[in-house]
Amino acid sequence: MTSGENPVVAEAPEEPAAISFADLGLDGAVLKALSDVGYETPSAIQAATIPTLLAGRDVVGLAQTGTGKTAAFALPILARLDESQKTPQALVLAPTRELALQVCEAFEKYASRMRGVHILPVYGGQGYGVQLSALRRGVHIVVGTPGRIMDHLDKGTLDLSELKYLVLDEADEMLKMGFAEDVETILADTPDDKQVALFSATMPSAIRRISKQYLNNPEEITVKTKTTTSSTITQRYLVVAHQQKIDALTRILEVENFEGMIIFVRTKSVTEELAEKLRARGYSAAAINGDIAQAQRERTVNQLKSGKLDILVATDVAARGLDVERISHVVNYDIPTDTESYVHRIGRTGRAGRTGDAISFATPRERRLISAIEKATRQELTQMQLPSVEDVNVTRLSRFDDRITAALEQSERIEGFRDIIGHYMKHHDVPEVDVAAALAVVAQGESPLLLEPEPVRPAREWKERDDRGSRDRDDRGGRDGGSRGGRYDDDRGGDRRSRGGPQLATYRIAVGRRHKVEPRQIVGALANEGGLRREDFGAIQIRPDFSLVELPADLPRETLERLDGTRISGRLIELRPDRGAPQRRDGGRDGGPRRSYGDRDDRPRRSFDRDDKPRRSYDDKPARSYDDKPARSNDDAPAGDDGASRKPRHKGTRDE
């Protein structure tokens, strides 16, 4: 079904005029079902799409997730459904099992006032028997994944010869997951006169090609929004090292007032690992990924909906299409590498006008991804700071107060315990406040109510550590001084620079150990923001309140300007040349604290130099003679003679 005409483009207003669903052309049982579920006015995509589909036009709908796309195509299909026809009249393709089930539930909800309408979800992971039985009895609407639909078509168990409506939901995700060939096969093998609706959050070139080839002069409907993410979602990010993510997540869970949460990670294995760690910390968490049996995945989602489960750790594909009202927070534990995935992820919260929170973890090297997301969504993400011990304790005390207040409202139970407490006080002569404190201890159990304050290490300890690190390096052969463990080269296993590398100078930045900064954070931030290369870095010394970094001495002004606003661990680095660097030794490289191997004589001699003995001159040594051999001088000694060849080489080394 092709057309050479250019598609008609229409923009849906961000907030349509106050109209009702009846004004869009819907009536009868569909309107009653909408009234039952509490729908009063259509969303922007619904107001623009429903009349077009009712008129029989093909549609390409470009709208972000969570804007009501399902109702936009489901309501027109139900309004024009022929209940007497038992072969499938409508086919909806979805990229994942979860989204297919979600769409199927929506159809059933909107068709609740229509008798005899049968909707069948068809997806992998479910036995063929259930699906075959339903198809033999007759269904009006099939909602499925491309792979399982193709299986039924190949087996001849799904008859689409009388199909009237075909919907591609989240088409961009289907193509990204490798279903392009299956989708095109289904489009080509279904009746040419069918009506097609294609919905996508993004519009890559592959989607436009399919639209041009298989849709008949479609009307493109775009929801006019200022951003590609919902304005009801508060978006924040936290810069955190990879190994500190679990501790950061735990503190966020302590202070955030969340109802239900989805935590996104990149791999299936991490879903299980992270869910297990959260359960060990006392949270109700479960994993969901493609390796988990479909029945178990459905039970997990139902537990999240019912409140038996609070946290779902998921991969992108497994969480596709989830619409759970309890989800108040989305956490990108692993930030996505493309902005489309980010939009789809955070769309799990703040849906249908509800508010939500999205928090993304970014390692120092991933800060560029934050900038890319802000540019693509045209919405700024707010940087947040890791909640402190004091923040956690304040939250814990507040919740403890709330528990007391809630218990005091149970007057009947309070009355039953009043006599018991009074009896104890009378016979033990203990004040009421002490009894209350003792009961709080019983209620709290072994775990402490408040966290211990974070220890602040005195500066003296760091100084001793720096001195020790400097001495150890000198003893090992003239390596750089500085704080032990703060050398970037040491972290990478030695000096990375070639002898012909750039001339270096020492710069000072206003972040140090107290800010939990590490060499790799410094390198990542300066490299990303300043466009520096790996060979541009020399020694990195991390001190308690600041750090010293070796960078090219001739940094261009534009590079310095780019670095001016750089932040590490949430603090401005205030990069400037270091004026308090120690005096250079002779023979060292200019512009930096490196020492040349020519400085070896400045160090105490090792035992093999034999400085504790007077050196013997081989020229004064009498030649050894044997009765049967002529005497031989040192100059005639063969190369393999250890006694004659090795010692002059030591002497030569000292003379150089």
Q: Tokens 């068809």 correspond to what residue?
A: 122
pLDDT of residue 246: 94
Average pLDDT, integer, range 340-349: 85
Beta carbons within 10 angstroms of residue 249's beta carbon: 23
Statement to judge: residues 79 and 160 lie in one domain = yes
Handedness of CA 598, 602, 608, 614 (dihedral sign): positive
Query: Which band of pLDDT confidence, cut at 50, 70 and 90, is reported for residue 27?
Result: confident
Nearest to 245 by CA among 106, 364, 373: 364
Q: CB of 589 within 8 A of CB of 596?
A: yes
- The whole-angstrom separation of Cα 99 and Cα 318 is 9
Could you give the percent of the chain with pLDDT greater than 70? 76
Domain end point (choices 223, 247, 274)? 223
Secondary structure class of 482 (helix, strand, coil): coil
Residue 33 within any structural domain of the chain: yes
156 is a domain residue: yes
pLDDT at 584 > cutoff 80:
no
Residue 209 lies in a domain: yes
* Residue 449 lies inside a defined structural domain of this protein: no
Q: CA-based diameter of the chain, in Å? A: 128
> Domain for residue 500, yes or no?
yes
- What's residue 613's pLDDT? 46
Is the pLDDT reported for residue 485 higher than 80? no
Q: Give the C-alpha separation, 433 to 427, whole Å.
A: 16
Q: Is residue 624 part of a domain?
A: yes
Determine the pLDDT at residue 134.
Answer: 93
Comparing 150 with 320, the larger pLDDT belongs to 150
Residues 582, 616, single domain; the answer is no
Residue 265 pLDDT exceeds 90:
yes
Element (H, E) at 223: strand 219-223
Tell me the pTM: 0.46
* Predicted confidence (pLDDT) at residue 459 exceeds the cutoff of 80: no
Residues 356 and 265 both lie in one domain: yes
Lowest mean pLDDT segment, chosen from 163-177, 235-249, 374-388, 519-533:
519-533
Q: Which residues of 568-590 are buried (b: 16+ CB within 10 A; e: fewer)?
A: bbeeebebeebeeeeeeeeeeee
In this structure, what token pair is assigned to residue 14? Answer: 């961000």
pLDDT average, residue stretch 542-564 = 85
DSSP state of 564: H
Q: Where are the beta strands (DSSP E) in 327-376?
A: 327-332, 356-362
Residue 223 pLDDT grade (very low, low, confident, very high; cuts 50, 70, 90): confident
Residue 284 and residue 254 in one domain: yes
pLDDT of res. 603: 44
C-alpha–C-alpha distance, residues 62 and 71, integer Å: 15
State whether residue 326 is helix, strand or coil.
coil
Same domain? For 330 and 463 the reply is: no
Looking at residue 506, which CATH number applies to its domain?
3.30.70.330
Structural tokens at position 113: 């006032």
Say how far apart CA 82 and CA 140 lie, in whole Å: 8
Q: Where are the beta strands (DSSP E) in 58-160?
A: 59-62, 90-93, 119-122, 141-144
Give me the CATH number covering residue 165: 3.40.50.300
pLDDT band at 117 (very low <50, low <70, confident <90, very high): very high
Report d(CA 481, CA 131) in Å as an integer.
72
Among 388, 403, 425, where does a domain finish? 388
- Among the candidates 340, 363, 388, a domain finishes at 388
Cβ neighbours of residue 298 under 8 Å, at least 6 residues apart? Answer: 101
User: Is residue 523 domain-shared with residue 423, that is, in the same domain?
Assistant: no
Mean residue pLDDT of the chain comes to: 78
User: Does residue 292 have a pLDDT over 50?
Assistant: yes
pLDDT band at residue 556 using 50, 70 and 90 as cut-offs: confident
Q: How confident is the model at residue 455 (pLDDT cuts 50, 70, 90)?
A: low
What confidence tens digit (pLDDT) does each residue in 599-649 have?
444 444 444 444 444 444 444 444 444 444 444 444 444 444 444 444 444
pLDDT score at 384: 92
pLDDT at position 359 is 96
**Half-sphere exposure for 59 (CA within 13 Å, toward CB):** 32
Classify the C-alpha dihedral 13-15-210-161 as positive or negative: negative
What is each CA distance from 527 to 63, 344, 365, 492, 578, in whole angstroms?
Answer: 37, 30, 9, 16, 19
Give the confidence band of 8 by pLDDT, cuts at 50, 70, 90. low
Same domain membership, residue 272 and residue 306:
yes
In a domain, 432, yes or no: yes
Is residue 228 in a domain? Answer: no
Q: Is 445 left (phi over 0), alpha (psi -120 to 50) or beta?
A: left
Q: How confident is the model at residue 125 (pLDDT cuts 50, 70, 90)?
A: confident
Contact 475, 481 (CB under 8 A): no
Residue 601, pLDDT score = 43
The two structure tokens encoding residue 293: 């049996």
Do 78 and 191 belong to one domain?
A: yes
| pLDDT for position 352 | 64
Q: How many domains would you assign to the chain?
A: 5
Assess whether 16 and 127 both reside in one domain.
yes
Distance CA(508)–CA(92), nearest Å, equals 60
Find the domain containing 593 and state its range: 459-598
pLDDT of residue 58: 95
Q: Is the pLDDT of residue 61 over 70?
A: yes
- Which of 117-121, 429-433, 507-511 shows the highest mean pLDDT? 117-121
Does residue 475 sit in the same domain as residue 544? yes
Check whether residue 207 and residue 355 sit in a common domain.
Answer: no
Residue spans of beta strands (DSSP E) within 373-427: 382-383
Residues 184 and 251 reside in one and the same domain: no
Can you tell me the distance from the alpha carbon of 156 to that of 201, in angstroms, rounded to the nearest whole number? 33
pLDDT at 495 over 50: no
pLDDT band at residue 501 using 50, 70 and 90 as cut-offs? low
What is the C-alpha to C-alpha distance for residues 570 and 513, in angstroms, rounded to an integer?
Answer: 14
